[in-house]
Amino acid sequence: MSHRSMLPKVWVSVWGSFTAFIALCLSSQAVAAADFARDVRPILSQYCFKCHGPDDSTRHGGLRLDQRESAIAAGESGAIGIVPQKPDESELIRRILSDDPDSVMPPPHTKQVLTAAHKQILREWISEGAPYAEHWAFKAPTLSPLPKPTDSEWGRNAIDLFVLNRLQAQGLSPSAEAKPEELVRRLYLDLTGLPPTEADVVAYLEDDSPQKYESLVERLLSSPAYGERWTRRWLDLARYADTNGYEKDRVRSIWPYRDWVINSINDDLPFDQFTIKQLAGDLLPNATLADRVATGFHRNTMLNEEGGIDPLEFRFHAMVDRVGTTGTVWLGMSVACAQCHNHKYDPVSQKEYYQLMAYLNNAEEPELELVDEALQKERDEAQQKIQRWLASASQRFPIDLPEVQWQTAEVVSSVSDGGATFEKQRDGSWLVRGDVPDKDVYRLKIKLPKTAGWVTGVRLEVFADGTLPSSGPGRAPNGNMVLSELKARMPNMLSNQQASQGASATPSSEPAVFEWSAAQASFSQQGFSVEDAVDGNSRTGWALDPFPAGPNWNATWHSATPMYQAGGDAPATLEIDLEQLYGGQHLIGKFKLSIGYVNADPVPTDIAAATRELAARSLDRAFANWQQSTAQHNVSWTPVAPTSATANMARLREEGDRVLFAEGDQSKRDWYTLEFAAQDKPIYGVLIEALPDPRLPKQGPGRVYYEGPIGDFFLSEVTLETGDKKFAWESAEQSNAGGNAAAAIDTDPLSGWTINGGQGKRHFAAFRLKEPVPAGQAAKFTMLFERYYAGPLGKFRIWFTDSNATKLLSTLPPEFSTSDEAHDQMLAEKLKQEFGQKETYFAKTTPLMNLWQKELDRLQQAFKTTTTSLVMQERPSDLPRATFVHHRGEFLSPKEQVSNGGPAFLPPVAEGTAGNRLDFAKWLVRADHPLTARVIINRNWSMLMGRGLVHTEEDFGYQGSLPTHPDLLDWMARTWMDGSGQDDPNRWSMKWLHRLIVTSATYRQTSAVDDVRLEKDPDNRWLSRGPRKRMEAEQLRDTLLTASGLLDRKMRGPSVFPPQPLSVTTEGTYGQLAWNVSQGGDRYRRGLYTFAKRTAPYAMFQTFDGPSGEACLAKRVPTNTPLQALTLLNDPVVVETSQVLGRWAKAQQLAVKGEQGNAAANVVNSLFLKLLARQPDPAEAEAVLAYWNAESQRLGAEIEATKKLCGNDVADSQQAAWVLVARALLNTDEFLTRN
């Protein structure tokens, strides 16, 4: 038969057979007894339940047809809906047969019409006594006995017995087994999402082992690619994406959740655990970091950050999504229908819907910082170092005392690595002459004074000079210089012990190297600070452009420990290297060195003690000066605890030391009210100390989590009242630059104090009153946070002052100026850990320790937030969130409050109690749950077999289709859940399930179909052939990349940006995202890792029916569009793949000896094997060769086109033709299909 005449026939027959099938069912039912579940309930459900079903709010005439006892009872009119065995007396039959438009059912306005066959079924059923049966999917599955089909030859495992049984009942037989090469490709694509390489195919074909198929299955199941493949499908359900969705669609970090899924699937985490961890991992005893990351499942809901939204409204929408998604994923039910009203078809009431929501509604939604063991170790070490730092701070204080003399160094030797010469000037400076190398090091030896004493530091002065380029001070054309590193050593310094023995001692053999505590300069170029000259990094350094206020500039480095030298006739030498390695002749042109020196007079007997004394004296002096300067504007503050702290939404709780922490929900207009008992002294001012905390977004101190600056707050107004009197504010100050505390007392709620940029740190705002609150009066302090986003404070402490100073904030934090003695005591202890003692605070801030403070900053980097992931975190037990029934599902219409509870038609969630989210998760996977196992197995079956045993994979309710193989589904469900006992590792094992399916003979059938099977089994519902399906979007891209060898197999990590037209994420999109194409291997990662932007998904994936991540997707519906053809013909990914294959093909051609024609034919064979895992048949080979010949000849004259096709400036027309051949093969139906 030629295709011309065959095709239309195929199509007619597809349709014809379908309608025939319906007719067959109906007519056979009319003869045999109508089966309630199979035949009757679908009709009642579709046409009747909307008004005569479970929803009592819309029930008409008091007639309820979904339960037998009410169906056979009299309705409001007295008529009886169903009179068993008496159809003619049944109102139902009367009404469906009626010709009267006012009486006929369903009513004409519903536009639903019953067919004659429907009416006949209902009639027959009532005649039979109108038996009802429990819906199949609401009963726990039982272990079906294995059928014994007549042909026992066929079949490999239990699945096949059930399938063969049904095939035979339908008058069908199984198809032959697919060819081995087809099976290899099918298995690879199904289990790993990647195609086999040619070597894989050849190895399989050449394997003689009888178990080679099973071995391959095992190998693929244990391949890391397996987890990636099955994760992608799970992410469809989890509505995973890397952005928040809606208008702004900002980037979020939740890829650790994606990686958790990959790991779990590869580890074959049993599905019951997989479920529990994702829904309630945080509630597991001793929850691990991974358990908490797993709860990202329900954090994949969208977050609306559009200006001015009501955050609680969109939180409610997220909750609705969570309930609906849970229903779809685990229950296979459209639970979501009951959001607005009782379910029209299934036994889920609106109240039950909100009871289900209550389980999920009692969680906070933080960003979890991923502190793994390695990071924790790093932090512990950093913490220890910081402790050591603090402990040794005083010992490293530089000598800055009046007795330090800065003496011009006596240079006794000077050498330039670059060949420059040094010319001593009369003022003790040196002018550098001669060669001007690109880089240089000046090596200087300095003779120290003959008097014993300490070297405390080094000073470098550089000078302008008319003989230097642009007058210097450097030798670069613009007069600049860069001192990369300054190194100082004392080679013959005496150790302390030696020194104490006097001048006779032998110097130490190891030179003493200077370490530095502080660096100061008269000027440093931006980005080239004086500190950079002693940071151990020769790429950074000290420079001077634009040379303000010459003619000389200086830098001083203070030693961390003064170096003692004994003096006398053989004084120690000091070696100083001035390294200038920046390049471009950035060399010093004229300079002078000085050393800081303290004479030891008299020479001490205990040098070590004398050195310590020197340092201590220096510290005491500096500290005293500092204290004196700070005391000048020091206002004493007293921390105060409120007697009550309330808020419109949040709960404010004192967490010790008068610090308040806010928890709970927040809105666009929040206020905190703090009541204070009468004070002994008048209140002149109020100070708000805003505190960071790891629990807050970006560590706080604010609670902004969307739209605004994350971790900030917006303090609109503060008020202070006593009784009836409101006290006016005089002035306000804040500690953070750019903040404006005055905006919080300007009576304009639209302006306020914020700390953006200072997240993770503490900040202060102080407010001075016009007149004080007199002593002895209770006071009420109110803070209003109002913005178009929710922005209250997360953690804070209030302080009062009785000082009437004009300036309230000093450079010192309030705890150092407290007037509360008891508190002072407490602080002394507390602050040791938290903020350090006063001296430590000084050490952390004095410029005399600036180099060392840098080291501290570096240590503290270990505590900066690193990777985060969105998680669920159950609220404290004393702060539950209430859940309400919402009238018509509307956010603004909350009605009665509900508590946790499962739907009545399913087993109870927990015994004797409603349970919590963890109980709910466990309930989903309990052994007598009728839905979960069936739903999950059916979905996985569909992914492998192309179609679910229950075709409506997302609906197992009354409206869903009935299983084609109910006994098989139940057998699998029971076996999967129970295994051979509790310890069976196959219990709930996904790998077990996948293994079972792919090793069945059913799966191994050929997907080619003959006319008979196409007619009798057009949709393959009876499994009379193997599965055949176009590849999924990511699979297709991965397959292209595998074919060309470009695929980068790196697993996990942040999402990547493979090439696509940049306009996809910018043109017409509100939340524009610059698609900065990833470099290197990240261009070629598996599709699973492609950055998923909700409002503008990766174009190729969208074209091939990939998800947007905006809603739970239970099943991808493959389509077939011209846009897909355009993508496969012209997309850069395909072009690049073809070019690689073209190069490869040309190389193959050259490698094969023999005639030109044979070589080309061999290449065609190889390409087929590479791309389609098989050899071409003669017709195919001929067509492809003819095309290749024609194109190579034609392109011989098209040099430019040839170069472009080859992609690497090669004008080889044969190679270009191979590029085109590869491109054509990549576009064949067979290539993009899992056959």
Q: Minimum CB separation from another protein for residue 850, in Å? A: 37
For residue 838, give the 3-state DSSP assignment: helix
DSSP H or E stretch at residue 16: helix 3-31
* CB of 185 vs another protein, minimal distance in Å: 14
Closer CB to another protein, 743 or 968, in the complex: 743
Asked if 115 interacts with another protein (CB under 8 A), we say yes
Q: Which range in 726-734, 984-992, 1042-1050, 1203-1211 contacts another protein by CB under 8 A?
A: 1203-1211
Per the DSSP assignment, residues forming a β-bridge with 766 are 687, 733
Residue 334 in contact with another protein, rule: CB under 8 A: yes
Q: What is the DSSP string of 697-723?
A: GGG-SB---SSS-TT---B-EEEEEET
Q: Give the Cα separation of 988 and 276 in Å (integer).
A: 12
Q: Could you give phi then psi for residue 763, rounded to 5 degrees?
A: -140, 160
Q: Which is closer to another protein, CB of 561 or CB of 1095?
A: 1095
- Residue 302 interacts with another protein (CB under 8 A): yes or no: yes
Least distance in Å: CB of 888 to another protein? 10
- Answer for which of 214, 247, 663, 984 binds another protein (CB under 8 A) is 247
Q: Which is nearer to another protein, 968 or 977 (CB)?
A: 968
> Residue 424 or 888: which CB sits closer to another protein?
888
Q: Which residues between 534 and 563 bind another protein (CB under 8 A)?
A: none
Q: How far is the CB of 11 from another protein (least distance, A)?
A: 6
In whole angstroms, the minimum distance from the beta carbon of 1143 to another protein comes to 14
Residues with Cβ within 8 Å of 641's Cβ and at least 6 positions away in sequence, in order, are: 654, 658
Neighbouring C-beta atoms of residue 341, cutoff 10 Å: 17
Torsion angles phi and psi, residue 591, rounded to 5: -150, 165
Cis before 602 (ω within 30): yes
What is the smallest separation between the CB atom of 1106 and another protein, expressed in angstroms? 9
> What is the CB-side half-sphere exposure of residue 25 using CA atoms within 13 A?
11
- Is there binding between residue 1185 and another protein (CB under 8 A)? no
Cα-Cα-Cα-Cα dihedral sign, residues 933, 939, 943, 945: positive
**336 interacts with another protein by CB under 8 A:** yes
User: How many Å apart are CA 1091 and CA 346, to the nearest integer?
Assistant: 38
Map residues 1038-1067 to x or -, x wherever contact with another protein holds by CB under 8 A: -----------------------x-xx--x
> For residue 371, which phi and psi values (nearest 5 degrees)?
-95, 95
Instruction: List the one residue from 251, 609, 882, 892 that touches another protein (CB under 8 A).
Output: 892
Identify residues 952-991 at the interface with another protein (CB under 8 A): 952, 954-955, 957-962
The residue from 66, 190, 321, 712 that contacts another protein (CB under 8 A) is 321
1228 counts as binding another protein under rule CB under 8 A: yes
Pick between residue 31 and residue 1179 the one whose CB is nearest to another protein: 1179
* 74-82, 327-335, 615-623, 969-977 -> range binding another protein (CB under 8 A): 327-335
**Restricting to residues 1115-1144, which ones interact with another protein according to CB under 8 A?**
1117, 1119-1127, 1129-1132, 1135
Q: Is 161 in the site for another protein (CB under 8 A)?
A: no
Rule CB under 8 A: choose which of 52, 59, 64, 118 binds another protein. Answer: 118
Question: Rule CB under 8 A: is residue 1010 a binding residue for another protein?
Answer: yes
Please pick, from the candidates 608, 1008, 1046, 1051, the single residue that binds another protein as defined by CB under 8 A: 1008
- Of 606 and 1067, the one with the shorter C-beta distance to another protein is 1067
Residue 1235 contacts another protein per CB under 8 A: yes
Q: For residue 180, say if its preceding peptide bond is cis, omega within 30 degrees of 0.
A: no
Nearer of residues 307 and 876 to another protein, judged by Cβ: 307
Contact 451, 522 (CB under 8 A): no
Binding status of residue 1209 toward another protein by CB under 8 A: no
- The phi, psi pair for 578, rounded to 5°, reads -105, 100
Distance of CA 939 to the CA centre of its chain: 26
Structure tokens at 568: 């006398």
Among positions 830, 951, 1052, 1083, the unique one binding another protein when judged by CB under 8 A: 951
Residue 159 makes contact with another protein by CB under 8 A:
no
| Beta bridge partner(s), residue 516 | 559
Residue 712 · residue 703 · CB < 8 Å: no
**Between residues 218 and 1198, which has the closer beta carbon with respect to another protein?**
1198
By C-beta, is 376 or 1130 nearer to another protein?
A: 1130
Residue 339 gets which letter from DSSP?
G
Verify binding: residue 750, another protein, rule CB under 8 A.
yes
Size of the site for another protein (CB under 8 A): 130
Contact of 917 with 279, CB cutoff 8 Å? yes
Identified binder of another protein from the candidate list 269, 337, 683, 862, rule CB under 8 A: 337
- CA triplet 1167, 1170, 1171: central angle to 5 degrees? 85
Give the residue with the Cβ less far from another protein, 588 or 1014.
1014
699 binds another protein (CB under 8 A): no
Q: What is the 3-state secondary structure (H, E, C) of 860-895?
A: HHHHCCCCEEECCEECCCCCCCCEEEEHHHCCCCEE
Beta strands in 566-620 (DSSP E): 573-580, 590-599
Q: Is 35 in the site for another protein (CB under 8 A)?
A: no
Under 8 Å CB-to-CB from 306, ≥6 apart: which residues? 246, 247, 248, 707
- Token duo for residue 540: 């950074």
Closest CB 177 distance from another protein, rounded Å: 15
Alpha-helix residue ranges (DSSP H) falling in 665-760: none
| Cα separation, 628 vs 23, whole angstroms | 101
Q: How far is the CB of 1075 from another protein (least distance, A)?
A: 13
Window 1150 to 1179, contacts with another protein (CB under 8 A): 1179
> Is residue 55 a contact point for another protein (CB under 8 A)?
no
DSSP 1107-1150: --SSS--S-------HHHHHHHHH-HHHHHHHHHHHHHHHHHHH
End-to-end Cα spacing for the chain: 23
Q: Is 817 one of the binding residues for another protein (CB under 8 A)?
A: no
CB of residue 1174 to another protein, shortest distance in Å: 12
The answer to whether the CB of 1195 falls within 8 A of the CB of 1187 is: no
Q: Which residues in 1073-1112 contact another protein (CB under 8 A)?
A: 1094-1097, 1099, 1102-1103, 1105, 1108, 1110-1111
Residues 898-937 that bind another protein (CB under 8 A): none
Give the integer Cα–Cα distance in Å for 696 and 390.
Answer: 27
> b/e map of 802-837 (b: 16 or more CB within 10 Å)?
bbeeeebbbebbbbbbbebeebeeebeeebeeebbe
Pick from 1184, 1192, 1212, 1215 the residue near another protein by CB under 8 A.
1184
- Could you tell me if 521 and 554 are in contact, meaning their C-beta atoms sit under 8 angstroms apart? yes
Question: Binders of another protein among 423-442, rule CB under 8 A?
Answer: none
Phi, psi of 684 (to 5 degrees): -100, -25
Residue 51: CB minimum distance to another protein, A = 13
Q: What is the rounded distance in angstroms from the CA atom of residue 990 to the CA atom of residue 1059?
A: 34
Is residue 1019 part of the contact set for another protein (CB under 8 A)? yes
Q: Which CB sits closer to another protein, 246 or 976?
A: 246
The Cα 318–Cα 38 span in angstroms is 36
Binding mask 770-809 for another protein (x = CB under 8 A): ------------------x---------------------
**From the CB of 1055, what's the least distance to another protein, in Å?**
18
Give yes or no for a contact between 594 and 461, defined as CB atoms under 8 angstroms apart.
yes
- Using CB under 8 A as the binding rule, whether residue 1200 contacts another protein is answered as yes
Which of 3, 148, 426, 1153 binds another protein (CB under 8 A)? It is: 3
